[in-house]
């Protein structure tokens, strides 16, 4: 481990009042990185100038899919060292104010046992139907409003004059208007006015009138608008499978947007699309592909880009460090390439560590490499092969420090008179900015320095650890080589383009040019751009007690992370159709939960897991045909082979879901001794066909049971993979996970009992 000695002299002596205030406020550098793209720490400490050029370039790439919907699906790698700020950059695209709205899918788990196309489709459906927000609005609300506005306006414009009179009859003599030929002009004008309001054409340079207000002012009830929408969808849809799917999806969005009932849409996207009348029954993969193409066609028609962003790739692909990394990576990238060949209009963003990318990609088959390395041409900007995140220059680091310290200094008496970076000095900031390879390393140094200055450390110099890593010098924008200066404790750091104190449009263009491998242009007199190489000597490695690198996450800190992810998951699952839409995501998360229980020796009474298959797909149904297999053993007894499935379907899909889940016990050779179905606690009763199916299974001697599961338990399942990734990300590089058995048994005691064999006292 390399160490750098940082002088701890503050620019001003701390007064007792100031010191007490800073202590009460706490160290603002403790939460020094974003754990996932939805972490609100990014919003609290966002610095717009940081990676502004990279963000603008990504927005320009996404806009290609907005203005030219038939753009081929492509991959854009965003590469940087661990801690470079990749997750924060993704957060700013997903939730920041810059750029237009896009449907941004950020998978939290990779289901390597599933067909990739199937996995990706259900990730999109989960994002669409869930309660999570992007740029402060639900994807369901944005897409629903756009789709209903567009198709309802088209329906109004397609009405005949007589139909418009019937829809908007003149007052008093309405029932005679059509017979007498009265009111056609007024009805036509009202229909045209409403169509213009829905399309936003009447409000140039202003937000269009809210749809509910437009319908009210036009005198058109939501129920009648729904009828017009359905009739037009039926008339305009083709008679083939894609047309029927399109008609049903438009109807589902109409009911969700106009009638505030999302259940019909969720049921069709998870059940109904597989139950259409087919001349020849399609395969599971054909069903998924058909629905995927219809969904993408609707998104393209609305000019809504669909962006799939994979973040923290190593944690996503390698749930266990014992996994065969090459085999999993090859399946993952081959899956992306397969989707690129089958579906147009998808933008893939892969946020990856440079070392991981350079280790995985060159070992892949040539055709996969060709597609992953295919450059993307951005009009007026150039060709993008990859975006590389470099360490920010000292002026930008200062702004990051200011953002962290601002809320703390507001609590200090006379804080307004203190420097923006108090209790640090500009020299300290510049020294750390020039000596550390990534933003996370810098923030960690500031954390130790703040502790030393504020909490009265006895030493005159704070010796702070730096994570062990390999640093590279970039010879040009396209190639990376090992630095010859990287020997012993010598660290080479290159800043490709240092930001000046004041960022001008010319500076931003220089940064974009640097990203695209172009020579920088001097836009302002006296402003010269050049590559800057600093060599920093560091003393031999030492371990500092209590430092981040010398300690693991405490149970309290892990518990706080758990609660944070749980609250986020619960919000996402609260909308009416969210739970149904998250069926496959929940199943995969349950598999991750039980696999972790197995690895960490979690016990439930006398039962212990001997083997887990995280997700086992079976049968022909894409949504319902998946369970988790868990072998539970009690003392020296023979293990029970248990299948655990999510039984979430409602309405007409309920008996179909149950029928498919029960069929797992008929699989030959037999792989299941006992079936556990997790059913929402507010809909546990089996009636009609569902009751008959259950009774028939009991008569055949099949062992199965229903478990009433609360929304909190579903949120625990959904949150678990994201919490696990956050724990891994919070640990120093190379540090193994602590044993999680006690925490999991404390936080998920009830859930563990429900997914285990009956616990006897």
CA distance 572 to 613: 26
Q: What is the CATH number of the domain that holds 746?
A: 3.40.1350
Say if residue 612 is in the same domain as residue 644. yes
pLDDT on residue 401: 94
Domain residue limits at 640 = 555-754
Instruction: Using the predicted structure, report yes or no on whether residue 497 has a pLDDT greater than 90.
Output: no
Say if residue 247 is in the same domain as residue 322. no
Q: Kindly state whether residue 638 falls inside one of the protein's structural domains.
A: yes
CA distance 483 to 464: 24
pLDDT in tens, 210-247: 999 999 999 999 999 999 999 999 998 888 889 999 99
pLDDT on residue 489: 33
- The candidate with the shortest Cα–Cα distance to 37, out of 112, 131, 137, 104, is 104
Residues in CB range of 72: below 8 A, 6 or more apart: 340, 344
Q: What is the mean pLDDT of residues 2-11?
A: 47
Say if residue 372 is in the same domain as residue 459. no
Q: State residue 616 phi and psi, 5-degree precision.
A: -120, 100
- Residue 320 pLDDT class (50, 70, 90 cuts): low
Q: What is the mean pLDDT of residues 185-197?
A: 89
Q: Kindly state whether residue 512 falls inside one of the protein's structural domains.
A: no
CA distance 442 to 537: 17
- Residue 430 pLDDT class (50, 70, 90 cuts): very high
Say if residue 435 is in the same domain as residue 564. no
Alpha helices in 130-199 (DSSP H): 139-157, 161-167, 174-180, 184-199
Q: Kindly state whether residue 273 falls inside one of the protein's structural domains.
A: yes
Last residue of a domain, one of 261, 291, 321: 291
Q: Kindly state whether residue 519 falls inside one of the protein's structural domains.
A: no
Say if residue 224 is in the same domain as residue 324. no
CA distance 197 to 208: 7
Q: What is the mean pLDDT of residues 568-583?
A: 92
CA distance 300 to 344: 10
Say if residue 224 is in the same domain as residue 352. no
- Residue 529 pLDDT class (50, 70, 90 cuts): very low
> Looking at the 3D structure of the chain, how many domains does it have?
4
CA distance 471 to 469: 6
Say if residue 281 is in the same domain as residue 366. no
Q: Kindly state whether residue 759 falls inside one of the protein's structural domains.
A: no
- Residue 635 pLDDT class (50, 70, 90 cuts): confident
Q: Kindly state whether residue 27 falls inside one of the protein's structural domains.
A: yes
Last residue of a domain, one of 370, 388, 406: 388
Q: What is the mean pLDDT of residues 18-31?
A: 83
Q: What is the mean pLDDT of residues 579-595?
A: 93
125: left (phi over 0), alpha (psi -120 to 50) or beta: alpha
pLDDT on residue 583: 93
CA distance 721 to 318: 12
Q: What is the mean pLDDT of residues 711-715?
A: 96
**Residue in the structure block whose two tokens are 């929940």:** 586
Say if residue 573 is in the same domain as residue 696. yes
Q: What is the mean pLDDT of residues 329-357?
A: 93
- Residue 13 pLDDT class (50, 70, 90 cuts): low
Helices H, strands E: what count in the chain? 30, 19
Q: What is the mean pLDDT of residues 271-276?
A: 90
Q: Kindly state whether residue 515 falls inside one of the protein's structural domains.
A: no
Helix (H) or strand (E) holding 430: helix 426-435
Q: Kindly state whether residue 90 falls inside one of the protein's structural domains.
A: yes
Q: Who has greater pLDDT, 751 or 638?
A: 751
Last residue of a domain, one of 249, 266, 291: 291
Quote the mean pLDDT of the chain. Answer: 82
Say if residue 269 is in the same domain as residue 145. yes
**Which region among 119-128, 249-258, 307-316 has the lowest average model confidence (pLDDT)?**
307-316
What predicted TM-score, i.e. pTM, was given to this entire model?
Answer: 0.84
pLDDT on residue 26: 84
- Residue 494 pLDDT class (50, 70, 90 cuts): very low
Say if residue 707 is in the same domain as residue 581. yes
Say if residue 83 is in the same domain as residue 148. no
- Residue 322 pLDDT class (50, 70, 90 cuts): low
Strand order in the sheet with 387-388: 103-105, 306-310, 346-353, 74-80, 387-388
Q: What is the mean pLDDT of residues 172-201?
A: 74
Confirm if 1 and 465 have CB atoms less than 8 A apart. yes
Say if residue 207 is in the same domain as residue 317. no
Beta pairing partners, 352: 79
Please state the three-class secondary structure of 694-745 as a single string: HHHHHHCCCEEEEEEECHHHHHHHHHHHHHHHHHHHHCCCCCCCCCCHHHHH
Token pair belonging to 715: 């949120």
Confirm if 112 and 616 have CB atoms less than 8 A apart. no
What separation, in Å, do the N-terminal and C-terminal C-alpha atoms of the chain show? 50
Instruction: Using the predicted structure, report yes or no on whether residue 456 has a pLDDT greater than 70.
Output: no
Q: What is the mean pLDDT of residues 362-366?
A: 89
Q: What is the CATH number of the domain that holds 330?
A: 3.40.50.300
pLDDT on residue 481: 33
Beta strands at 480-482 and 472-474: parallel, antiparallel or unpaired:
antiparallel
pLDDT in tens, 330-340: 899 999 999 99
């Amino acid at each position: 481990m390399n160490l750098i000695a940082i002088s701890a002299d503050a620019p001003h002596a701390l007064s007792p009042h100031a010191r007490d205030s800073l202590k009460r406020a706490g160290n603002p550098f403790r939460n020094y990185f974003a754990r996932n793209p939805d972490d609100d720490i990014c919003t609290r400490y966002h610095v717009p100038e940081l990676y502004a050029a990279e963000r603008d370039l990504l927005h320009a790439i996404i806009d290609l899919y907005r203005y030219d919907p038939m753009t081929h699906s492509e991959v854009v790698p965003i590469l940087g060292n661990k801690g470079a700020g990749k997750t924060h950059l993704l957060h700013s695209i997903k939730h920041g104010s810059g750029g237009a709205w896009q449907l941004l899918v950020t998978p939290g788990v990779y289901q390597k046992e599933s067909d990739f196309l199937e996995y990706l489709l259900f990730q999109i459906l989960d994002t669409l139907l869930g309660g999570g927000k992007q740029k402060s609005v639900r994807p369901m609300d944005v897409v629903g409003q756009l789709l209903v506005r567009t198709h309802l306006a088209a329906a109004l414009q397609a009405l005949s004059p007589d139909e418009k009179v019937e829809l908007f009859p003149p007052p008093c003599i309405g029932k005679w208007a059509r017979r007498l030929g009265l009111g056609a002009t007024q009805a036509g004008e009202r229909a045209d006015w409403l169509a213009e309001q829905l399309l936003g054409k009447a409000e140039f340079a202003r937000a269009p009138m809210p749809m509910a207000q437009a319908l009210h002012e036009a005198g058109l009830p939501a129920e009648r608008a729904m009828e017009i929408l359905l009739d037009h969808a039926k008339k305009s849809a083709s008679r083939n499978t894609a047309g029927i799917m399109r008609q049903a999806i438009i109807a589902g969005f109409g009911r969700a947007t106009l009638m505030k009932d999302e259940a019909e849409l969720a049921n069709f996207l998870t059940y109904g699309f597989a139950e259409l009348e087919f001349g020849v029954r399609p395969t599971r993969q054909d069903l998924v592909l058909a629905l995927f193409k219809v969904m993408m066609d609707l998104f393209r028609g609305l000019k809504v880009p669909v962006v799939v962003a994979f973040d923290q790739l190593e944690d996503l692909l390698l749930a266990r460090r014992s996994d065969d990394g090459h085999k999993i990576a090859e399946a993952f990238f081959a899956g992306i390439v397969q989707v690129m060949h089958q579906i147009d209009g998808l933008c893939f963003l892969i946020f990856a560590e440079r070392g991981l990318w350079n280790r995985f990609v060159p070992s892949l088959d040539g055709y996969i490499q060709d597609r992953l390395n295919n450059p993307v041409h951005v009009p007026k900007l150039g060709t993008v092969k990859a975006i590389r995140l470099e360490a920010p220059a000292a002026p930008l680091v200062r702004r990051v420090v200011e953002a962290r310290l601002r809320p703390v200094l507001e609590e200090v008496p006379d804080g307004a008179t203190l420097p923006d970076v108090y209790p640090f000095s500009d020299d300290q900031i510049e020294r750390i900015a020039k000596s550390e390879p990534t933003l996370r390393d810098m923030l960690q140094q500031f954390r130790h320095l703040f502790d030393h200055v504020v909490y009265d450390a006895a030493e005159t110099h704070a010796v702070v650890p730096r994570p062990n890593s390999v640093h590279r010098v970039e010879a040009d924008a396209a190639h990376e080589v090992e630095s010859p200066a990287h020997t012993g404790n010598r660290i080479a750091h290159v800043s490709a383009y240092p930001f000046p104190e004041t960022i001008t449009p010319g500076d931003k263009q220089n940064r974009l040019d640097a990203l695209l491998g172009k020579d920088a242009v001097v836009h302002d007199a006296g402003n010269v751009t050049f590559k800057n190489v600093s060599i920093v000597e560091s003393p031999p490695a030492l371990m500092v007690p209590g430092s981040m690198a010398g300690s693991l996450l405490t149970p309290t800190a892990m518990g706080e992370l758990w609660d944070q992810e749980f609250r986020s998951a619960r919000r996402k699952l609260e909308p009416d159709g969210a739970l149904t839409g998250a069926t496959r995501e929940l199943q995969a998360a349950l598999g991750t939960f039980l696999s972790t229980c197995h690895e960490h020796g979690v016990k439930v009474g006398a039962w212990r897991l001997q083997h887990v298959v995280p997700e086992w797909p079976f049968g022909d149904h894409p949504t319902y045909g998946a369970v988790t297999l868990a072998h539970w053993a009690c003392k020296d007894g023979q293990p029970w082979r248990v299948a655990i499935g999510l039984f979430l379907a409602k309405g007409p899909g309920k008996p179909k879901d149950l029928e498919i889940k029960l069929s797992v016990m008929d699989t030959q050779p037999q792989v299941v001794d006992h079936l556990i179905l997790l059913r929402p606690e507010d809909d546990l009763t089996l009636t009609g066909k569902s009751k008959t199916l259950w009774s028939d299974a009991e008569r055949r001697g099949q062992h199965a049971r229903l478990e009433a599961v609360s929304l909190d338990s579903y949120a625990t399942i959904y949150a678990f993979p994201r919490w696990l990734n956050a724990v891994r990300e919070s640990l120093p590089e190379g540090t193994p996970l602590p044993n999680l058995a006690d925490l999991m048994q404390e936080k998920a005691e009830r859930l563990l009992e429900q997914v285990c064999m009956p616990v006897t006292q």
